[in-house]
Amino acid sequence: MAFCELHIYSKYLGMQTTVNVILPQSDTDGEIGVKSNSTNKAYKCLYLLHGLSDDQTIWHRRTSIERYATEYGICVVMPCGGRSFYTDMKYGEKYYSYIAHELPNILRGYFNISDRREDNFIAGNSMGGYGALKIGLRECEHFGAAAGLSSVADIRRWLEGTNKTYSPIFGDPVEVSPVDDLFLLAEQVSRGSIKPRLYMGVGTEDFLYEDNLRLKAHLEALELDFTYRESAGEHCWAFWDEYIRYVLKWMLG
């Protein structure tokens, strides 16, 4: 695999930003302990989103995502989403539009990444799990599957009694748009003709566990193509390192 750190200009952010990319390498003869499953076809691609306290480096630093991706011969894109909740902020940058629309087009200009819906996936943890499910539901014409791990599943509950930290994102007073509410988005998608595959994973000791259970019940009631998995675990990288492997197998196995 190749690991690339790209510094690119985003018109939606109005500034330079950084995105890390893992790319398959077809010929790894002589590299110890590596077996590549890369092909000469356009790459399948996973967009992997970080949580509230992190940045584009964190999945590569805290998990073995590069090794796991090698098994499937896929491209993994890890953008920086700041503390935006992957939203077009009320008073700030348009991180939703950047990641959901602009970034895929930029990267396809540099790399042989497939533009087929069934070859593009999105996943994330915590704030990134919320972002992945939101983008997957809103952009189901472009992403075939979305996975949230330990997600901020109920954004309205998360913002109850919030301080000024989230005012630039959701306004002051805080107002959550229907397009930022996973429960409402799922209802909208359930009435449409194109529906993404969805996955949720959460630890039973996670402080977001109950919120995830509520979203789980909602998705099941809507009869969407939905997979859920839970096990003992907290809101931590040991859990996410384990579960990203389940996600990859679910998406690509």
Range of the domain at 141: 2-252
pLDDT at 25: 85
Is the model's pLDDT at 204 over the cut of 70? yes
Taken in order 210, 211, 217, 219, is the CA torsion positive or negative?
negative
Q: Which helix (H) or strand (E) holds 19?
A: strand 15-23
| CATH number where 87 lies | 3.40.50.1820
For residue 230, the 8-state DSSP code is E
Is this structure's pTM higher than 0.85? yes
Q: pLDDT per residue over 135-184, tens digit each?
A: 999 999 999 999 999 999 999 999 986 767 899 999 988 889 999 999 99
* Phi and psi at residue 66, to the nearest 5°: -65, -40
Domain count, the chain: 1
- Kindly give the pairing relationship between strand 75-79 and strand 45-49: parallel
Query: Which residues, in sequence order, are CB contacts of 133 under 8 Å at separation 6+?
Result: 146, 147, 148, 151, 153, 182, 198, 200
